[in-house]
Amino acid sequence: MARAYLSIGSNIDQRHHIAACLDALAEHFGPLLLSSVYESEAIGFEGDNFYNLVVGIDTDMAVAELSDLLHRIEDNNGRRRDGPRFSSRTLDIDILTCGNLCGDIEGVRLPREEILHNAFVLLPLAEIAGQELHPGVKKSYRDLWAAYDTTAQKLWPINFEWRGQVLSRAAPRL
């Protein structure tokens, strides 16, 4: 059994699609390890803000099988694949890591490069897996976040509940 970390994002009816995604993941994998939910501006295109979080799951699925399941969950939530790569979406689920796998594994590049480049991936990953080492650079996610240029991308926690569980609270305004 391997621990996989998934990045989840939505900028169309965000609360609905994030909750539906978590429901589907819980149905397939049981208990989920959940980060806070963060809001961030769209990157690479003009669009509504995204809600993002990272989820840890335990699975014995092959990477290709997991990827196929995640695509089905996206499709079941109205994901369109006929538009530009950087565009609004109902749901985006990416495999960030799967155990310590590195390289092109069954058509999926692991670990996913966005871990090192996007605050909306690295911060929630550091939150739930801070002591774990990035399989490629061999640094902890907590250390990677500590070294990250936080002025490069803005994100903030939002009030978000799922199945009666508080996942995150908005930071108080000063």
Q: What residues does 104 pair with on adjacent strands?
A: 109
Number of domains in the chain: 1
Q: What is the pLDDT of residue 87?
A: 65
Q: What percent of the chain has pLDDT over 70?
A: 95
Q: What is the pLDDT of residue 42?
A: 86
> Quick check: is 173 in a domain?
no
Helix or strand or coil: residue 143? helix
With beta carbons less than 8 A apart as the criterion, state whether 58 and 2 touch: yes
> Quick check: is 161 in a domain?
yes
With beta carbons less than 8 A apart as the criterion, state whether 134 and 142 touch: no
List of long-range contacts for 80-86, beta carbons under 8 Å, 24+ apart: 84/45, 86/43, 86/44, 86/45
Tell me the C-alpha distance between 5 and 3, whole Å: 7
Domain range for 102 is 2-168
Q: What is the pLDDT of residue 149?
A: 94
**Tens of pLDDT along 32-71?**
999 999 999 888 778 899 999 999 999 999 999 999 999 9
Query: CB-based contacts of 118: which residues, under 8 Å, 6+ apart?
Result: 43, 153
> Quick check: is 174 in a domain?
no
pLDDT band at 120 (very low <50, low <70, confident <90, very high): very high
Tell me the C-alpha distance between 8 and 40, whole Å: 13
Q: What is the pLDDT of residue 78?
A: 76
Q: Which domain CATH number covers 11? A: 3.30.70.560
| Range with the poorest average pLDDT among 45-49, 98-102, 155-159 | 45-49
Query: CB-based contacts of 8: which residues, under 8 Å, 6+ apart?
Result: 18, 21, 22, 52, 53, 54, 55, 91, 92, 93
Cis peptide before 172 (omega within 30 of 0): no
Q: What is the pLDDT of residue 25?
A: 98
**Position 90 pLDDT exceeds 90:** no
